[in-house]
Chain A
Amino acid sequence: DQQVKQNSPSLSVQEGRISILNCDYTNSMFDYFLWYKKYPAEGPTFLISISSIKDKNEDGRFTVFLNKSAKHLSLHIVPSQPGDSAVYFCAASDSGSNYKLTFGKGTLLTVNP
């Protein structure tokens, strides 16, 4: 039972353009969402998070949008840079299940120079 889904295994964009990574979830109890970036053979690095009381959070080039009614969130990277090429994981947790972070399968982003 996959509660966090990233349906696009990969995405390729040109340098300078916008990258949009999508994530869907099925558990309506999730109230905190995070995006992590991961390079091969390294640990995930936290990028940005959003609480369910908000619908948008921005940090520099990264913006996360949350649509609770659609159970959908997206990560926008503008402008995309070659160094952004990595696997991006969406993750979610709910207040009633401390410590448990549920990850999606990840999307491999490739930013071409």
Chain B
Amino acid sequence: GQQVMQIPQYQHVQEGEDFTTYCNSSTTLSNIQWYKQRPGGHPVFLIQLVKSGEVKKQKRLTFQFGEAKKNSSLHITATQTTDVGTYFCADFSGTYKYIFGTGTRLKVLA
């Protein structure tokens, strides 16, 4: 079945540094969603990307969908301590269900 892998698994950064997580799928992605889960919390929807090569920005967050629709990335500029959490990508597959990526846990050191 489809596998959605994220790298890195963990990332520790100093506050103010940039951070990027990459999402790679074994099959073509239908549409990609990104979620943030704070420690002890539940996933919160961030954004959805649908088109090949699409780039969307939310303040310090930049989301990109690969040209071949097999990968996506989330880049955070100048991280803050509030960015701490686990970031998941998820593919809303053709079988009408969500396949979550393995996640990247971000820790920001003040």
A binds B: no
